[in-house]
Amino acid sequence: MVLDLFKKFTTLWIILVVLAFFPIFTSTFDLPFWNDVVMRIMLLGMAAMGLNIVFGFGGMVSFGHAAFMGVGAYCAGISQYYGLDNGWYQLLMSAVSCGILGIMIGFLALRTSGIYFIMITLAFAQMLYFFFVSLEQFGGDDGLIMDRSDFIFIDLYEPLRLYYLIFFILAAVSIMLMLLIRSRFGVILQAIKSNESRVEAMGLNPLKFKLTGYVISAVICGLSGCLFASWQEFVSPDIMHWTRSGDLMIIIILGGLTYVAGPLVGAIVFLLLEELLPDLLHVVFPSIAENWMIIFGPLLIAVVLFGKGGLMGVVGNRFTRPAARKDQ
């Protein structure tokens, strides 16, 4: 079974191996800054992988998944505000809170589809955003400064320990998604995306499968948000603004909707361009260096128009057997 997973998800395994050994590269060449960049890549990539369950595999366009990141982050921040520093407890509370919230929102939103589903998820996200803005006790719009959480025997202030904590949780999420997408549940979820009426005619309840996928995606985003708060030692309502959901969707589209590794590939390219394009433009066109999205926008359009399936699709069309492409 392990060998089968490796064959079907080769790209994802390669990325995980590179991430595991990346600190050796930064230590050898004295580039500790890039460890922070890669931690951000892993955190946003994890959140995008969660969203991709409903967006890429379920065909449900949600503009509200950043809200789950925000709830997960505030679970860490508010817990610490009241003296609960245990990081494992914060992760558990984030998962439970986002799971319950996912059930509530999903139960209402998934009874609709198309533009109505988009608007309902966006409305709930904005409601939560303004709710946390109104919480003056926890910083309101200015946010809440916090320390890194206490993971008992893991001192996150020691170099690279936070990096590997994020990595191992990302790896666990990745393996879970590999198994999920190839399971009966994953196959039915993708079938619902293709033809929901036919799945219903087979005697299955599409709402049950869509709601389950929505809740799983919410929990993954919540875990990402909780770790994000510990990483930046700060949490504010900005993390759950609808534009963050837009960033996650761009990351997924860039990497590839129908690939498990797609969101992680998209996060790598998106954030590397975010880091490198301003410096490049500062050398070539200093006047537009701050507006790097002027260059990124056309690149994204080109990928969508000419690379079916995003960057993973471009690579798959050239180097991957047709039968294995969608699983990567």
Q: How many domains does the chain have?
A: 1
Which band of pLDDT confidence, cut at 50, 70 and 90, is reported for residue 295? confident
Tell me the per-residue pLDDT of 17-56, one tens digit each, with 9 for 90 and over.
999 999 999 999 988 889 999 999 999 999 999 999 999 9
Query: Which domain does 308 fall in, by range?
Result: 2-327
Tell me the per-residue pLDDT of 155-202, one tens digit each, with 9 for 90 and over.
777 778 889 999 999 999 999 999 999 999 999 999 999 999 999 998
How far from 240 is each of 47, 73, 158, 161, 223, CA to CA, in Å? 12, 9, 29, 26, 14
Lowest-confidence range among 119-133, 194-208, 294-308? Answer: 294-308
Which band of pLDDT confidence, cut at 50, 70 and 90, is reported for residue 4? low
At residue 262, what is the residue type? Answer: G
Q: What is the pLDDT of residue 325?
A: 47
Tell me the per-residue pLDDT of 52-104, one tens digit each, with 9 for 90 and over.
999 999 999 999 899 999 999 999 999 999 988 888 999 999 999 999 999 99
Residue 125 predicted with pLDDT over 60: yes
Residue 328 predicted with pLDDT over 70: no
CATH number of the domain enclosing 8? 1.10.3470
Q: How far is the C-alpha of 111 from the C-alpha of 48, rounded, in Å? A: 23
Q: How far is the C-alpha of 304 from the C-alpha of 83, rounded, in Å? A: 47
Q: What is the pLDDT of residue 167?
A: 96
What is the pLDDT of the chain when averaged over all its residues?
88
pTM, entire model? 0.91
Residue 3 predicted with pLDDT over 70: no
Beta-bridge mates of residue 247: none
Which band of pLDDT confidence, cut at 50, 70 and 90, is reported for residue 134? very high
Neighbouring C-beta atoms of residue 158, cutoff 10 Å: 8
